[in-house]
Structure 1
Amino acid sequence: MSRTLNGRSKIARLKKQKSLRTKHTAEENVHRLEEAVTALDTKTAELKLFKDLPLSEPTRFGLKAGHFSTLTDIQAKAIPLGLKGSDILGAAKTGSGKTLAFLVPVLENLYRSQCIGADAGLGAMIISPTRELAIQIFDVLFKIGRKGHMFAAGLIIGGKSVQEEQQALARMNIVVCTPGRILQHLSQTASFSIDALQMLVLDEADRIMDMGFQRDVDAIIEYLPKSRQTLLFSATQTKKVSDLARLSLKDPEYVSVHETATSATPSTLQQNYIVTPLSEKLNTLWSFLCSSKKSKILVFLSSGKQVRFVYECFRRMQPGIPLLHLHGRQKQTARLDITTRFSQAQYCCLFATDVVARGLDFPAVDWVIQADCPEDADTYIHRVGRTARFERDGKAVLFLEPSEEEGMLERLEHKKIPIERINVRAKKQQDIKNQLQNMAFKDPQLKYLGQKAFISYVKSIYLQKDKEVFHMDDLPLEDFAESLGLPGAPRIRFGKGDNAKELKNAPRTAVLSSDEEGERPNDEDDNYNERKGSQRNNQTVRTKYDRMFERQNQDVLAPHYARVLEDTHGEDRTRKDEGNIGEDDDLFSVKRIIPAEGTVPGDSDKDGQGPKKVMIPGMKEPLVLDSKRREKLLRSKKKLSKLKEKGTKLVFDDNGKARPVYELEDETKFAAKGLPEEQRKLFLDEEKKRIELADLDDKAAAKEKRRVKKEKKRAREQADMDDGDGADGVELLNPDENAFANFLADAEAMDEPDEREQSAEPPPKRRKWFEDEPGESGKASQKRAPDYVQPETLEDLEALAAGVLE
């Protein structure tokens, strides 16, 4: 093989030339695509298929592999504008293909700019409000981009290792993320650079721009470069000028393909509502599940606690259809597994919160049941959008309480949502109230779940902004609690108000500073002062290990379980305002205290209404109980120990007796008592007197012991002499004698050995198998070997041998 001067073969040069030709070909394709996109007319062009668009070969192959051929209305209008680099506000009905409307421009724009490899940096960021939606977007991106695209794409959501994401972020060109986790990396990951960002996509933009994500989105925008392309897509798009200004949109194109439609929901969706009292809601839901076992059903509830309670109850009652439940409190692996199982199931029922209300594509959902009224019409649109997707048929039923009917129907009419009322057949409806009560009585944990579900539902109604739809005062809470199987309505606190989430997510240092300035939440929390006091004393950063050790059992033994129980005594519930029901949230309250040493005289006034004083052992002064906080001190040993005097330290000697610790006396006091020799002589004299007195006591004790022993001996001898007296072998008691004293004397005599027993010979030992019986005569005794005598002469040795041979 011939070689060149540099030592390489000709084959290496051929490979280099081939790579150069490939590079030139890619540049030619990019240049050709740039010209085609520039020549594309977005206003007059009629586009129906993906092949009509100027797309790269990898994107065409990916769309073909995913069986995407025909453009939907939103895709036909949004993709050309996205290819040209315009900012877009896209609004379309649920299930109309909005995901491809922004993924195709992302792939094509990055392909034309050759944003490939770790050196190119991050080119596109796609933000979604929920983890499930982010996973779904990433799956579609992988499906259409795996046929030739060389981009490095990643999924950045909560519930995964932060360290692994930090290492991967430095190599990503496209990232699909949720607001909270990407903001964490923007502020903490040093290797995460976004200076080369070209595109920002917000899926379900109205939810992301809502108050729940407003702070995160504003912080994310501060990190992003100003010169970028921004795409916003949702089924209910926002048009607020303030929101658009926050995102720095430049002349955005508003794309709404269904703005002139007669309905905001798909035409293939059948929508109905049922007016059912709050106490009959679970009966209606159970009856519906029993009558629709061959269907795929999605049931929406207002809170995760309700989801868990309804799922646990219905699972034990076995309606005949597989049941699943999904809410935001579950771990990410469990949530992903549940969404996968529901997507693959043919017949199944999923109880869920609004975490799955937006963007998720569950195949072939037959029914969407909204057991709890949505907070607004937009939420209703997103919920029912989980069925009747891509022009399929679907059915949706909304459960309304009588007080919610008028206001909610008015909101739906304003959004152009056609809906009809249907009634429940009384003969078909089943009553499960007794079953729920029986299960709650047998299982305390299920009862606790019911109490939390009740509280979460009532609080959700209380915190709703639309007071024309949700009327807190009109709800039959007692009947609702009874329908959940509870013996009574639990106590509820409403102290935190509308800013509960802000207080929860506020920085810890800001909360502490606001508390010091007097801006603190209401005092409905019993342990608020103690918790804040400990935080002020120790304002260090709390790690996950600190939270792990502070975590308490969330089962029936949790402190919250005691606070949700109904107080049967109504004396302390005199003050009831709009936000507070009852003053004390503990299960037990101090009514009367009876200490071991009694109450100090004069502890209250004449009417018995003054402060009480309780004397606690170990305290010099009595404890004044002038408030409920002081009364709670009686329940804590740790707090009472701080008020008590310090005890004397004791040590134990070799005999196990406690004595105080020997401490050296102060030198000045010791010198004031005299010379050391004088003190030594004085100490010896005192010890001598103490020993003499101790000897006298010991001698007296020994003498008394001998006297008692003699009396016991005489008593036993007298008893032997009198043995056999009385009738039928029963000893007659002398009425003049003290029977109890005789009993004690006999009991003590049993502890000391009898002299006769000591003098008696010990019992013979058990005979071995080779020994003769004692006293046995005859041949056995004659054969016994004589005592061995050491032979001295020859005659003695012969005599010994003859005796052995006999």
Structure 2
Amino acid sequence: MAPSNGPRNGKGAKSSQRHTLKRKRVQDDLSTLTQRVEELDLKEPYKNFDNLPLSEPTASGLASSHFKTLTDIQSRAIPHALKGRDILGAAKTGSGKTLAFLIPILENLYRKQWSEHDGLGALILSPTRELAIQIFEVLRKIGRYHTFSAGLVIGGKSLKEEQERLGRMNILVCTPGRILQHLDQTSFFDTFNLQMLVMDEADRILDMGFQKSVDAIVGHLPQERQTLLFSATQTKKVSDLARLSLQDPEYVAVHEAASSATPSTLQQHYVVTPLPQKLDVLWSFIRSNLKTKTIVFLSSGKQVRFVYESFRHLQPGIPLMHLHGRQRQGGRLDITTKFSQAKQAVLFSTDIAARGLDFPAVDWVIQLDCPEDADTYIHRVGRTARYERDGRAVMLLDPSEEPGMLKRLEQKKVVVERINVKANKQHSIKDQLQNMCFKDPELKYLGQKAFISYVKSIYLQKDKEVFKLKELKLEDFASSLGLPGAPRIKFIQGDDTKERKNAARAAAYLSSDDSDGEGEKKPKKEEPQVRTKYDRMFERRNQDVLAGHYSKLINDDGTMVEPSKTAGANADADEDDDFLSVKRRFDAGDKELGGESDEEDEKKDIKVVELDGKEALVIDSKRREKLLKSKKKLLKFKGKGTKLVYDDEGNAHELYEMEDEDDFKARGDAKDQQAQFLAEETERTRVADVEDKEVDKQKRREKKEKRKARERELLAAEEAEEFMAQLPPPGGDDMSPLESEDEAPRPSKKQRMRTPESESDEEPKPKKSKQAAPKAPEQIHTLEDLESLATGLLG
């Protein structure tokens, strides 16, 4: 036994020595890395990741993810963050802010040799779930060679599943609401050892919508920590910075001195469009750009759903998607993935997709609704022209929104150029939407909700210099959505009620105080009095055909009725002298005598409407004016419509188009072309006939094989049933033990002996009846019984 222990002890000694050397090498690498970070020059501009003092796992992850060069915000923010300073980072959209805080997180935890026993080391807050998912994916790519555990906490999943894994996480990417829920409810989730707090899109997180959640989260975190804030529109409020306990933060704004707050490769335009025409302009734009990737921003989720459903019914010829906060988390993730992978698509979205999301190769950003402020505009248009690529953005503004919004954009150094829409390329979908809402009550309901949500969003906007609700044409806007009328809105009616109430009081106060210079009060308007039966009597017509005492009536006070009233009644009766009235009168005598007629008055009443296919329609009467409102009656005045087909590019063509005559003649004589065409068609028909026959034969063959297979299955089932019927019952007394061991098994029904004569003369047996049942054959138990049966059959 003793000799066997020697090698084992030697092997253990070698392994322990190897571990010791490895631990010493790791310590040497850490000390070297820490020294390089301390010697880092903050003023020197770094261009490549190789120039930075990064650990081997981080450098390998960056190289595997094809990150080589640093952007401006990364080269200025990462050195400060590696030294442990608090940072306020501001840079244009699409400039690589995500890596600017992920790399310092990995490096700082690596230098501190963080493990799962140390608890949570870094917390990353994101305002939206989609942005949190995107940050987590980037973290997985560049941190694949590290041993840290990272988690994504965004809601939409089971709280218990997240609670089970939360205690082992070193890095968490989360949304404010969900992480606050865990901080309050998960008992073993501790943040006492937190090293770094990161807020992406910090101005949005510190906004009023997340104010209470952020204050509660900061209350759970330790005071001694490193804090990094990043956004395209960074906050500088002292109150916000004091809430986060920032310690001498470094403000890194790489594009603050730039001429524009948006990327230089972005072309920005706006179109002045009245609110009722915005959907028409959007439809015309989509139809004109079928091979592009577009994001359309709207102000509310109900608008997004209505526009998506209505355009989906109209079928523009390009894939349509929609994204809003009311959708489930799985559906939102699928939509963002599909849109990222698509080459041509249109995404209708709220501002949930306006911040941080990186959709590849977006060509257009259309803002159908005016953004709430200049910061929202910057984030919206930042979905295109990312990483120095080209992009285009268009904003649709109502005439009442134009001056105020342009002023706000000018204050943020955003230059927007005005363009006009070509009238010949604009198409109206108002009639189609009305028809769809009439046939589909659900779409009409969505339209009503979209109208109310839009009006409510305008009503709640803070900047009243831009958003002027009373100047919007809401009735026309409701009609453009396909609705029969504008829905009633409670908060607008409440304001009108207050104004009417105050106006009535003010009018009463003014009427009691206003007077002329001579001291006489101004005459008040006569209030409507109660009409008596006498008043109604004097209003009747044809009074002169009644008795004479009508003109001698007296009033209630005993005075005679004024003759002017009775005269007025007769005058009213004379108004209907012309019983058959004519719309227009022509002075025939003047025409015959060559007199001049008043042509200017006639031209005022006559309209000329140009119709397709036939001569102009003259509207010279009210009946003709009503005719214009009926599409069905106008059909007989119009030419026949033409059926159109659309090619792959979305261009319309007639169903049968005539070929150019010169090209036709260049191919030869018409009779030769006719003969060639007939020969080609004959050959094509023959080939098609042969193929059809082969297909028919194949179908028949398959049908026959299926029938045979079915018959074989039925036969096998019958044989199985017969075999089961022939088995002896369990525990039966008919057979003795000796017989069961020595004798042959009982023959089945199909094994009965038959003579050739009986087989040839066999006839179908009649069906058994209940009254006369045939005598059952004797059972065969022994060999003698079998021999007697055989002799009977032969004899």
How far 1:4 sits from its partner (Å)?
A: 7.7
Match of 2:15 in 1: 15
Map 1:317-466 onto structure 2 (within 5 A): 317-466=314-463
How far 1:363 sits from its partner (Å)?
A: 0.2
Match of 1:778 in 2: none
How far 1:21 sits from its partner (Å)?
A: 2.3
Match of 1:133 in 2: 131
How far 1:578 sits from its partner (Å)?
A: 6.7
Work out the CA distance in 2 between the residues paired with 1:238 and 1:6.
Answer: 69
Counterpart of 2:313, as a letter, is R
Work out the CA distance in 2 between the residues paired with 1:141 and 1:429.
Answer: 46
Work out the CA distance in 1 between the residues paired with 2:74 and 2:476.
Answer: 50
Other structure's SS at 1:270 match: strand
Match of 1:24 in 2: 24
Work out the CA distance in 2 between the residues paired with 1:378 and 1:323.
Answer: 27
Match of 1:181 in 2: 178
Counterpart of 1:62, as a letter, is G
- So what's the TM-score if we normalise by structure 2? 0.62
Match of 1:160 in 2: 157
Work out the CA distance in 1 between the residues paired with 2:221 and 2:234.
Answer: 22
Work out the CA distance in 2 between the residues paired with 1:770 and 1:93.
Answer: 101
Counterpart of 1:11, as a letter, is K
Name the Cα RMSD after superposition.
2.2
Is 1:483–2:480 an aligned residue pair? yes
Work out the CA distance in 1 between the residues paired with 2:2 and 2:290.
Answer: 77
Match of 1:583 in 2: none
Counterpart of 1:31, as a letter, is S
Counterpart of 1:101, as a letter, is A
Counterpart of 1:183, as a letter, is L
Structure 1 residues 395 and 578 mapped into 2: Cα distance closer, same or farther (>3 Å)? farther
Map 1:486-525 onto structure 2 (within 5 A): 486-494=483-491
Other structure's SS at 1:427 match: helix
Map 1:522-601 onto structure 2 (within 5 A): 576-577=497-498
Match of 2:115 in 1: 116
Match of 1:271 in 2: 268
User: 1:388-407: per-residue Cα shift (whole Å, max 9, x none)?
Assistant: 00000000000000000000
How far 1:418 sits from its partner (Å)?
A: 1.0
Counterpart of 1:449, as a letter, is L
How far 1:29 sits from its partner (Å)?
A: 1.4
How far 1:273 sits from its partner (Å)?
A: 0.1
Counterpart of 1:79, as a letter, is I
Match of 2:296 in 1: 299
Counterpart of 1:13, as a letter, is A
Other structure's SS at 2:449 match: helix
Match of 2:56 in 1: 57
How far 1:577 sits from its partner (Å)?
A: 3.7
Match of 2:82 in 1: 83
Among 116, 128, 143, the residue aligned to 2:141: 143
Work out the CA distance in 2 between the residues paired with 1:16 and 1:488.
Answer: 84
User: 1:577-600: per-residue Cα shift (whole Å, max 9, x none)?
Assistant: 4799xxxxxxxxxxxxxxxxxxxx
Match of 1:47 in 2: 46
Identical aligned residues as a percent: 68
Counterpart of 1:576, as a letter, is T
Structure 1 residues 453 and 123 mapped into 2: Cα distance closer, same or farther (>3 Å)? same
How far 1:2 sits from its partner (Å)?
A: 7.8
Among 226, 230, 236, the residue aligned to 2:233: 236
Counterpart of 1:17, as a letter, is Q
Please, which runs of 5 or more residues in structure 2 have no aligned partner? 502-529, 531-768, 773-795
User: 1:760-802: per-residue Cα shift (whole Å, max 9, x none)?
Assistant: xxxxxxxx9999xxxxxxxxxxxxxxxxxxxxxxxxxxxxxxx
Counterpart of 1:28, as a letter, is D
Contact 2:177 2:213 in 1 (8 A): yes
Match of 2:762 in 1: none
Structure 1 residues 300 and 574 mapped into 2: Cα distance closer, same or farther (>3 Å)? closer
How far 1:245 sits from its partner (Å)?
A: 0.4
Match of 2:560 in 1: none
Contact 2:293 2:363 in 1 (8 A): yes
- So what's the TM-score if we normalise by structure 1? 0.61
Contact 1:37 1:84 in 2 (8 A): yes
Counterpart of 2:476, as a letter, is D
Other structure's SS at 1:473 match: helix
Work out the CA distance in 1 between the residues paired with 2:262 and 2:353.
Answer: 18
Greater share of helix residues, 1 or 2?
2
Work out the CA distance in 2 between the residues paired with 1:579 and 1:177.
Answer: 50
User: 1:657-696: per-residue Cα shift (whole Å, max 9, x none)?
Assistant: xxxxxxxxxxxxxxxxxxxxxxxxxxxxxxxxxxxxxxxx
Other structure's SS at 2:423 match: coil
How far 1:161 sits from its partner (Å)?
A: 1.1
Contact 1:364 1:387 in 2 (8 A): yes
Work out the CA distance in 1 between the residues paired with 2:770 and 2:327.
Answer: 78
How far 1:8 sits from its partner (Å)?
A: 4.8
Match of 2:665 in 1: none
Other structure's SS at 2:393 match: strand
Other structure's SS at 2:67 match: coil
Counterpart of 2:128, as a letter, is T
How far 1:19 sits from its partner (Å)?
A: 2.6
How far 1:17 sits from its partner (Å)?
A: 2.8
Contact 1:2 1:10 in 2 (8 A): no
Contact 2:437 2:444 in 1 (8 A): yes
Structure 1 residues 141 and 309 mapped into 2: Cα distance closer, same or farther (>3 Å)? same
Structure 1 residues 574 and 101 mapped into 2: Cα distance closer, same or farther (>3 Å)? closer
Other structure's SS at 1:288 match: helix
Work out the CA distance in 2 between the residues paired with 1:396 and 1:494.
Answer: 34
User: 1:396-455: per-residue Cα shift (whole Å, max 9, x none)?
Assistant: 000000000000000001100111000011110000000000000000000000000000
User: 1:528-568: per-residue Cα shift (whole Å, max 9, x none)?
Assistant: xxxxxxxxxxxxxxxxxxxxxxxxxxxxxxxxxxxxxxxxx
Is 1:98–2:19 an aligned residue pair? no
Other structure's SS at 1:396 match: strand
Structure 1 residues 413 and 224 mapped into 2: Cα distance closer, same or farther (>3 Å)? same
Contact 1:493 1:579 in 2 (8 A): no
Count of residue pairs the alignment pairs up: 506
Among 214, 217, 223, the residue aligned to 1:217: 214
Structure 1 residues 6 and 439 mapped into 2: Cα distance closer, same or farther (>3 Å)? farther
Match of 1:639 in 2: none
Contact 1:3 1:9 in 2 (8 A): no
Contact 1:407 1:468 in 2 (8 A): yes
Work out the CA distance in 2 between the residues paired with 1:132 and 1:247.
Answer: 24
How far 1:11 sits from its partner (Å)?
A: 3.0
Structure 1 residues 139 and 3 mapped into 2: Cα distance closer, same or farther (>3 Å)? farther
Counterpart of 1:10, as a letter, is G
Other structure's SS at 2:347 match: strand
Contact 1:306 1:457 in 2 (8 A): yes
Please, which runs of 5 or more residues in structure 1 have no aligned partner? 496-523, 525-572, 581-606, 608-767, 772-806
Match of 2:70 in 1: 71
Contact 2:262 2:414 in 1 (8 A): yes
Counterpart of 1:169, as a letter, is L
Contact 2:45 2:76 in 1 (8 A): no
How far 1:575 sits from its partner (Å)?
A: 7.3
Work out the CA distance in 2 between the residues paired with 1:223 and 1:578.
Answer: 49
Contact 1:494 1:579 in 2 (8 A): no
Work out the CA distance in 2 between the residues paired with 1:574 and 1:125.
Answer: 46
How far 1:7 sits from its partner (Å)?
A: 9.9
User: 1:250-298: per-residue Cα shift (whole Å, max 9, x none)?
Assistant: 0000000001000000000000000000100000000000000000000
Structure 1 residues 16 and 4 mapped into 2: Cα distance closer, same or farther (>3 Å)? farther
Work out the CA distance in 2 between the residues paired with 1:432 and 1:404.
Answer: 24
Other structure's SS at 1:30 match: helix
Other structure's SS at 2:426 match: coil
